Amino acid sequence: MAERYRLGPVRDARTRDERVKRGELAGAVGDAAVTADDVAAASRRATAARSAVDDARRAHASLVAAGASPALLVLADRFTARRRRDLEGAIGAQLRAAASHEGRLAEIDAARGRLVHSRAEREVIERHFARWRETQRKLAERRED
């Protein structure tokens, strides 16, 4: 008569727990990939906004050099100021996206730590199970002799 492994339910629970932790890590990695794309897009928008500010400044300077009317210079100043506000907004969005991405990277590290812990717990049970199987095998051999 073969004895049943008493920690079988614990072994199964640890295996399921590890599988769940692997899924959580995969989800965190997927979320981080999305936020990395968001950071790249925000960076492109900030670069385009910088370029727009530079273009507005050059246009303003060319109007001054050409001796444009004061009304036209005021409009150019307002346009440059609007472009600067757009740049500030783009830089703010870029910083928020970068902070969000850093948070996702921290979640990856935490999920990785939980997975390592879960794997270690499962390994303890697996080693115990291997010793138990070996003990059962030796007992069976002794009974046969």
Q: How confident is the model at residue 6 (pLDDT cuts 50, 70, 90)?
A: confident
Structure tokens at 124: 């303890």
Q: Cα–Cα distance between 19 and 36 in angstroms, integer?
A: 26
pTM of the model: 0.75
* Mean pLDDT computed over 89-113: 97
Looking at the chain, the whole-number percentage of residues with pLDDT higher than 90 is: 88
Give 55's Cβ-side CA count (13 Å radius): 10
Q: Is the pLDDT of residue 1 over 50?
A: no
> Which pLDDT tens digit goes with each residue over 15-71?
999 999 999 999 999 999 999 999 999 999 999 999 999 999 999 999 999 999 999
- Predicted pLDDT at 100: 96
CB 114 within 8 A of CB 26: no
Give 93's Cβ-side CA count (13 Å radius): 17
Ramachandran class of 5: left when φ > 0, alpha when ψ lies in -120 to 50, beta otherwise:
beta
DSSP state, 2?
A: P
Q: How confident is the model at residue 5 (pLDDT cuts 50, 70, 90)?
A: confident
Q: Whose CA is closest to 24, among 104, 97, 95?
A: 104
* Domains, in order of start, for the chain: 11-138 (1.10.287)
Q: How confident is the model at residue 2 (pLDDT cuts 50, 70, 90)?
A: low
Average pLDDT, the chain: 94
